[in-house]
Structure 1
């Protein structure tokens, strides 16, 4: 290798600039691509060497090629191991309180915690890894470099993407290298790179080949001469085409006197130096090539250096050391920086050596590695051992050993929440299954440790045989189906479940058949495809005649939950009640609480709103010890139900609690979107639009789930409409309508239609409002949906009333009003908010028919005023004022208009405020009341007058002291993300532009006297 680092000035400048931005708290990521041998590794090594300082710590990890699969999180584990050597106890302090979670990523932290390895486990792991780097980036800049991303496993890629997307204000620079010539059309790295390309903090850097001048400089360094022979430079540049590795290979061959004998084949070029080495060294290299990208010295010694070997006579320790020394001296191998093993200097060399092996030779070498690892497991690090052993036996063509080792590797991957890698190992086991005899299957395979409700025995009640006591093919298919669902490979999950159902005898194993049907229903639901209902119904028929079981309870619970969301019906109450009863009978606690959460919503929808709320609150508390994913589902449903009942202040607090629980558990990526939507919707309802907007804006920095984008788009559209930004509102509404139509759930379809009707009415498009209304009514039922349907019908009737006198609109109005009245007749409002909307609807229908009645508006105002909700109260007040003006009651009309103006202003609704102002102008009424008589001043807490919560008051106090988000989080024992959301809410409530303005306002108002600087004398 050239001792002189050649060229790359532009690339080094780009990396240096990224480091400077990272040092200023703006985390960066640079993806360095190039063909094999172009110099990616050298660039990274030189940059890391130059970047390291007292304030910059660097860590390097490489992705490993282990057969066809990568090792989950290998580069991150290697980087953390290097950080531990550099930082020592500082790394442990940064991981304090998270060791049990992070042990799945870096086993040196100790034993993993006992949390379930479910689909939310990976989210928790990612969240805690993010927090670890946040803490490490306090007081220093961390440079994390990952090599050979083209070999990365899916879990590593997703964790890197999570860090890149979520870490804000952290002094972190992520570097990653990958081979561009390895990225075939379907390579999994392609969509990963394309997704990251859209992020502001990510840069792509493609390394070009050297030009002739740079090749000359490289040769000068290698040959130790200032001016290498021009003819030699021309020849090597032409044959290498500027590839730095090839230049090195050709230069070395020239020094050894064999430059004329090269072929154009890359493999031959790389093998020529290997074949020139002593026999012992070649033998070591052939073994090391099959050992993987990295092979431990102890493992090599066990295979080659000690005792008898299946691949030839043992070398002995001295000959092995000498052979390794020769390989390192020839720059074929290099000692790993950990000092425990060896890597090929370039992966292409290892590939060439491996490709040159004869089939039988390859089998024997892999068998020797597998035997050595089985005999002495400590030869391979714990986290990599199962995958390594599985690959050795697989490439040794020993199915009887490869199958159980693949299953062990799948178990290990699941424990680390690496579900994609678990799936690949399980699919390997499925591939090998038919190659293993029944006797071997019966004696070597141990039962799988099932995490879900999969039944451990295939027999119906009262039947049992010996086959139930060992692992069967259908069991592997079951675990692979779950792994595919959790890994997000839902199409594969569907096909695996379909294959399993062909093997299951429904008559003999109805419970297992029902279990697979449930899996298909869940996956179809995630894919927004039809067929989920049919799968649940089929499963129901299979288990209906059987005794109670967890599967039977889950079938009923899913049936009720699915129906509640899509086709609500009173009969679902009996289904959910039966699910609760069976789950309680068989001790399936999680299934019971899932069913009770559904049942509570059904009670609320069909006649017992208070009883439903009480049951839901109880289910939320009982779910707390059963799993954070279940608990967050309960909190989410409770916040939603409180909001639908008009108890929006309570909904705000519950939604905040749900977000905090999800944040602590690392579940924001799964449930954060809907919890954020519930919080924003509740804030809009209580008249805090600035906080709602800040909440939605804060969520854009968090990687969301695949679901509920239409929910957030609809809320953004509502806020835009309230601000009078009709074009922005239309854009958000169109996006929300498209997604809501795919999901076909009333909870999304009806509110989205309401926004569309309001927008069309504001734009003076009554025909469009009617079309939106009819589409919504045609696609959803009315029963049990008073909270969602009454507001839609009321605003649609109001749009008809506003369009009276337009010939085109007058023509079709009777049909529209008849359709609205028919839908309203099927509703049964039971809570004040719903009754208030019902009075509003009656008034709007009368107004649209040309027979307005003040009684409807008075009833609406009286019913809605106690709810404290600015909308629809402002609308009712406006209509009541119109009636009072028409009746000549000017004073009462003025009072109603002033109240309506205040409610519209609190809601931030410019359109409604403008309607109030126009009526006041037309009626000649003053919106400002007469000046009141002076009253004695009453001392009040200035902080309370700003509408800040107790936690926001604590955050503002620290903000006034100049604390950063991270410092605020540490002092208040919350996460930096939660602190950031609180700061955003404070800025919105104070209506200031930044942290400095907020602190200045706090000092100016003397909100916290203890934060004021002490007076000083001259």
Structure 2
């Protein structure tokens, strides 16, 4: 009987298989998910997945891709590219139809699609690649359920991990199940996969299972299958189980060794256990395995043959022996071989002598350099770099690593590019200066980095060629774009230590700009880097880096507290960029200039500048500039009260971002702008649906705190104050930059929440904290509403002793702040009149003229929120003046505007006012839930008006406060209180309140 080393019987794993089946059923029902399968090496992760996939049927299509160890050295997206390639092979025309229109970017994953449609300088190419890959998977899953498997995630490159996480986060409705396996015992404390797994586990769609070792019963069943006997010898089972410690792969290896007669002397170390099977093979086969082990986890047949340089028949026989012994297996693509378990390859490689390992890697590199067609084109550069590096051929490894870095950059695999550049930095001092130069200038990657001055792609005679600072410049950008911000900071500092700022001020300024950008993302103070860079380039001739420095200086000023000098800087940046042909920098500077015009009271000029810059970006196809311009224009229009126009700008920006793969970078802010416009127009349900459909989150979305604050505002309007407060706290905790456009709206939401919760002192503290911030610019669109709500909280708490103390100081601070503002557009002037009214109300003065003026300004704008507030205040004033018909008409309009704005609290306030002022009628606002009907039998002999007085009395109101709330005189209120005390037979206000509480007269009302 033929002996085998792999059990034909799938042992155990019933619970895990059922778990995967449930996840697949959910995916088939439109609930995509991901399952992370962990376990130590040899525990059976691959076998579990293979058996599970064997049991699935139509319409399920599965594709498997494995991470190669060489991938950690620079081959990006390998497993996902393999999986997609297999889907392409299986689905054929259906796959090509799904990829239609996206071939240019998908070519970065699958070169068979042709040339990529964007150059290596594409800042957002990686985002587009991710977006198009997700869209491809969604399209493929429309007619079938997809199972995408990524094996050996512990060897994954950074780009693969990022793309996998992106798919898991964004495929919310596709019929897709993602399965990823990894070795848990390889995850040392600093392994890059550890934080990645922790982040994924926080997602509700991700489940993680850990495969346990076999127990004695499972080992017995496994050995029974391997040995072909239903009852293997118990002593043998016990010995193998003890040695293997329940690891299925080790069981297989020990069983095979036992079958070959290796019954004693097996070392306990893992390496020796793994080498037992190898050492029993013929010498020729062992030699082939030693060569193959240095080729990588996967080695192509033709490459292996060329390296071995022996007769084909001899090689085939050795390979057949290795495959038959279960050490090697044919690669699933059919053109190469893999070790059946990577641990075997590692053990074989570790068993080589140092000189032997160097010689084998040198042979691989030499053969591959002579015939590059032996490996796939996308893998060539990384493989050569790896072989030369391990061959200790520094002079060849350095240019190979440079080329691998260039190839990685062209595929937007910035993490792998950084890894290769780190290798270049490691080898730099080991290579003579004469050998470092390269005819290609891969470091000249941006339109602003000062190049060596040579034209074209070739260095001219006399040029020093590639310098260490150039490699560092490339590495800085790669680190920043791959998200390794701390490493970017370290690389910048290393470069600045090398540079002589007097000799190369432009390059020093460029690195200072990179440091400022990086610190900005990390939300750390940059120590004045832009100002330092500005001084470095101020005396130089026009250049792209000078224009970028000036543009950054102006942009930083705009985001903080700008002054007029920043406008001159932005104009200078645009002028220099135009002269040197740096079009993207020019348009960015003009967008900043437009924002500054808006800050300094020139909104129409700002709109015109933004519109022109947007048009230029459309012409040049600069998607990032176009998205920024549309985003800024939508913000500006929203602040001017032109919400309908703002909404259209946001929608166009989202269409551009979706078409160009920029949703992950610009989509969050554009979505927030869209939600703000919808909310202002009273379309709260649509705004909430827009937020719910947003597919990104932290850390993918850098604007998640903005969106959390908007979610909080919608919950506030819906009356869910606790949830609104929680979301606002979360947004403020994430916003470490503390810029006015974030600070002021969050503070306003906090003031409004505290005020509605009956916490006037907390609302006051929030307001004062903001007024203590030095705000030199106008910020009318943000400050005026905040001041209105702060003053309103003071007016509502008038008469409360704790709140009365200190109120004059607060009102004076509010008035002083308002005096510095210059409201020019109708919306801002309306808020200013509302503020005048709230300040008057807080002082107990008549404010009717202010409410009327605000209403006249707000009605044409069709913004229901502030209009409802102005109408409600005007109705209160009319009722207090005894103008009942006018009060009723204003109240009806206020109730309608409140409903249109989605503000449930204002609706309830309108109903309360109708009750208190006795304005209820056929056209009046409906009475709030729990209020007594007009014809209701009086409780305890109290009239309806006396009941209203008693309700306020139980809340601790004074006679004057009761009179103000019920629009009666203090004397009349005193009479009602006396009547109540007599009817209830009590001796004081406290006893009357106790009776009302004991009888629960107002329980329903107070719960509203």
Q: TM-score, normalised by structure 2?
A: 0.88
Does structure 1 conserve the Cα–Cα contact (< 8 Å) formed by 2:508 and 2:533? yes
Does structure 2 conserve the Cα–Cα contact (< 8 Å) formed by 1:32 and 1:207? yes
Residues 815-836 of structure 1: CA distance to partner in whole angstroms, max 9, x if unpaired? Answer: 1111111111111111000011
Residues 760-816 of structure 1: CA distance to partner in whole angstroms, max 9, x if unpaired? Answer: 211222221221111112224042211111111111111111211112222201111
Does structure 2 conserve the Cα–Cα contact (< 8 Å) formed by 1:684 and 1:692? yes
Question: Equivalents in 1 of 2:714, 2:84: separation in Å?
Answer: 44
Partner of 2:176: 172
Deviation at 1:69, TM superposition (A): 2.2
- Do structure 1's residue 389 and structure 2's residue 384 form an aligned pair? yes
Question: What is the 5 A alignment of 1:239-258?
Answer: 239-258=243-262
Question: Equivalents in 2 of 1:672, 1:446: separation in Å?
Answer: 34
Partner of 1:647: 642
Give the one of 813, 819, 842 matched to 1:825: 819
- Do structure 1's residue 277 and structure 2's residue 281 form an aligned pair? yes
Partner of 1:990: none
Question: Equivalents in 2 of 1:22, 1:859: separation in Å?
Answer: 58
Answer with 606-615 or 621-630: which moved more.
621-630
Deviation at 1:199, TM superposition (A): 2.3
Does structure 1 conserve the Cα–Cα contact (< 8 Å) formed by 2:563 and 2:776? no
Deviation at 1:707, TM superposition (A): 2.4
Partner of 2:470: 475
Bigger Rg, which one: 2
- Do structure 1's residue 411 and structure 2's residue 416 form an aligned pair? no
Does structure 2 conserve the Cα–Cα contact (< 8 Å) formed by 1:30 and 1:176? yes
SS in 2 for 1:913: helix
> Quick one: structure 1 residues 467 and 877, their matched pair in 2 at CA, closer, same or farther if it must change by over 3 Å?
farther
- Do structure 1's residue 37 and structure 2's residue 42 form an aligned pair? yes
Question: Equivalents in 2 of 1:89, 1:890: separation in Å?
Answer: 74
Give the one of 492, 497, 518 matched to 1:497: 492
Question: What is the 5 A alignment of 1:743-782?
Answer: 743-782=737-776
Question: What is the 5 A alignment of 1:255-274?
Answer: 255-274=259-278
Question: Equivalents in 2 of 1:654, 1:12: separation in Å?
Answer: 50
SS in 1 for 2:69: coil
Does structure 1 conserve the Cα–Cα contact (< 8 Å) formed by 2:105 and 2:116? yes
Question: What is the 5 A alignment of 1:60-71?
Answer: 60-66=64-70, 69=73, 71=75
> Quick one: structure 1 residues 821 and 443, their matched pair in 2 at CA, closer, same or farther if it must change by over 3 Å?
closer
Answer with 364-373 or 80-89: which moved more.
80-89
Does structure 1 conserve the Cα–Cα contact (< 8 Å) formed by 2:914 and 2:924? no
Does structure 1 conserve the Cα–Cα contact (< 8 Å) formed by 2:118 and 2:125? no
Deviation at 1:656, TM superposition (A): 1.5
Number of positions where the alignment pairs a residue of Structure 1 with one of Structure 2: 915
Q: Where do 5+ consecutive residues of structure 1 fail to align?
A: 306-314, 932-1018
- Do structure 1's residue 136 and structure 2's residue 136 form an aligned pair? no
Does structure 1 conserve the Cα–Cα contact (< 8 Å) formed by 2:452 and 2:465? no
Does structure 1 conserve the Cα–Cα contact (< 8 Å) formed by 2:868 and 2:894? yes
Does structure 1 conserve the Cα–Cα contact (< 8 Å) formed by 2:172 and 2:695? no
SS in 1 for 2:805: helix
Partner of 1:546: 540
> Quick one: structure 1 residues 619 and 162, their matched pair in 2 at CA, closer, same or farther if it must change by over 3 Å?
same
Question: Equivalents in 2 of 1:406, 1:613: separation in Å?
Answer: 48
Answer with 589-598 or 772-781: which moved more.
772-781
- Do structure 1's residue 567 and structure 2's residue 561 form an aligned pair? yes
Deviation at 1:271, TM superposition (A): 1.6
Question: Equivalents in 1 of 2:921, 2:626: separation in Å?
Answer: 48
Deviation at 1:226, TM superposition (A): 2.0
- Do structure 1's residue 12 and structure 2's residue 6 form an aligned pair? no
Partner of 1:685: 680
Does structure 2 conserve the Cα–Cα contact (< 8 Å) formed by 1:744 and 1:779? no
Residues 159-202 of structure 1: CA distance to partner in whole angstroms, max 9, x if unpaired? Answer: 11111121123222211111111011111111121122222322
Question: Equivalents in 2 of 1:781, 1:28: separation in Å?
Answer: 47
Answer with 802-811 or 439-448: which moved more.
439-448
Residues 861-915 of structure 1: CA distance to partner in whole angstroms, max 9, x if unpaired? Answer: 1111111111211111122222222333322222221111111110111111222
- Do structure 1's residue 75 and structure 2's residue 70 form an aligned pair? no
Question: Equivalents in 1 of 2:143, 2:698: separation in Å?
Answer: 26
> Quick one: structure 1 residues 776 and 200, their matched pair in 2 at CA, closer, same or farther if it must change by over 3 Å?
same
Deviation at 1:318, TM superposition (A): 2.1
Partner of 2:311: 316
- Do structure 1's residue 158 and structure 2's residue 152 form an aligned pair? no
Question: What is the 5 A alignment of 1:589-668?
Answer: 589-624=583-618, 625-668=620-663
Question: Equivalents in 1 of 2:772, 2:809: separation in Å?
Answer: 15
Answer with 663-672 or 922-931: which moved more.
922-931
Partner of 2:338: 343
Partner of 2:189: 185
Partner of 1:127: 131
SS in 2 for 1:130: helix
RMSD of the TM alignment (CA)? 1.9
Deviation at 1:410, TM superposition (A): 0.7
Residues 124-171 of structure 1: CA distance to partner in whole angstroms, max 9, x if unpaired? Answer: 111111111111112222211111111011111111111112112322
> Quick one: structure 1 residues 67 and 560, their matched pair in 2 at CA, closer, same or farther if it must change by over 3 Å?
closer
Residues 393-446 of structure 1: CA distance to partner in whole angstroms, max 9, x if unpaired? Answer: 000001100001111111111111111111111111000000000111136775
Deviation at 1:239, TM superposition (A): 1.0
SS in 2 for 1:406: helix
Question: Equivalents in 2 of 1:82, 1:198: separation in Å?
Answer: 30
Give the one of 199, 220, 237 matched to 1:233: 237
Partner of 1:959: none
SS in 2 for 1:743: coil
> Quick one: structure 1 residues 771 and 594, their matched pair in 2 at CA, closer, same or farther if it must change by over 3 Å?
same
> Quick one: structure 1 residues 708 and 173, their matched pair in 2 at CA, closer, same or farther if it must change by over 3 Å?
closer
Question: Equivalents in 1 of 2:734, 2:802: separation in Å?
Answer: 31
Partner of 1:734: 729
Question: Equivalents in 2 of 1:574, 1:446: separation in Å?
Answer: 35
- Do structure 1's residue 874 and structure 2's residue 868 form an aligned pair? yes
Does structure 1 conserve the Cα–Cα contact (< 8 Å) formed by 2:888 and 2:924? no
SS in 1 for 2:147: strand
Does structure 2 conserve the Cα–Cα contact (< 8 Å) formed by 1:145 and 1:174? yes
Does structure 1 conserve the Cα–Cα contact (< 8 Å) formed by 2:472 and 2:495? yes
Deviation at 1:744, TM superposition (A): 1.7
Deviation at 1:117, TM superposition (A): 4.5
Question: Equivalents in 1 of 2:778, 2:264: separation in Å?
Answer: 86
Partner of 1:146: 150
Residues 959-983 of structure 1: CA distance to partner in whole angstroms, max 9, x if unpaired? Answer: xxxxxxxxxxxxxxxxxxxxxxxxx
> Quick one: structure 1 residues 930 and 444, their matched pair in 2 at CA, closer, same or farther if it must change by over 3 Å?
closer
Partner of 2:797: 803
SS in 2 for 1:29: strand
Partner of 1:50: 55
Deviation at 1:240, TM superposition (A): 1.0
Does structure 2 conserve the Cα–Cα contact (< 8 Å) formed by 1:262 and 1:268? yes
Does structure 2 conserve the Cα–Cα contact (< 8 Å) formed by 1:710 and 1:735? yes
Residues 257-286 of structure 1: CA distance to partner in whole angstroms, max 9, x if unpaired? Answer: 112121112212222222222222111111
Partner of 2:99: 95
Does structure 2 conserve the Cα–Cα contact (< 8 Å) formed by 1:898 and 1:927? no
Give the one of 709, 712, 717 matched to 1:714: 709
Does structure 2 conserve the Cα–Cα contact (< 8 Å) formed by 1:746 and 1:780? no
Partner of 2:27: 22
Instruction: Provide runs of 4+ in structure 1 moved above 4 Å.
Output: 443-447, 464-469, 700-704
Answer with 12-21 or 587-596: which moved more.
12-21
Deviation at 1:467, TM superposition (A): 7.0
Partner of 1:858: 852
Give the one of 916, 923, 934 matched to 1:929: 923
Question: Equivalents in 2 of 1:82, 1:586: separation in Å?
Answer: 47
Does structure 2 conserve the Cα–Cα contact (< 8 Å) formed by 1:569 and 1:784? no
Give the one of 2, 25, 29 matched to 2:7: 2
Answer with 712-721 or 352-361: which moved more.
712-721
Does structure 2 conserve the Cα–Cα contact (< 8 Å) formed by 1:32 and 1:177? yes
Question: What is the 5 A alignment of 1:822-971?
Answer: 822-926=816-920, 928-929=922-923
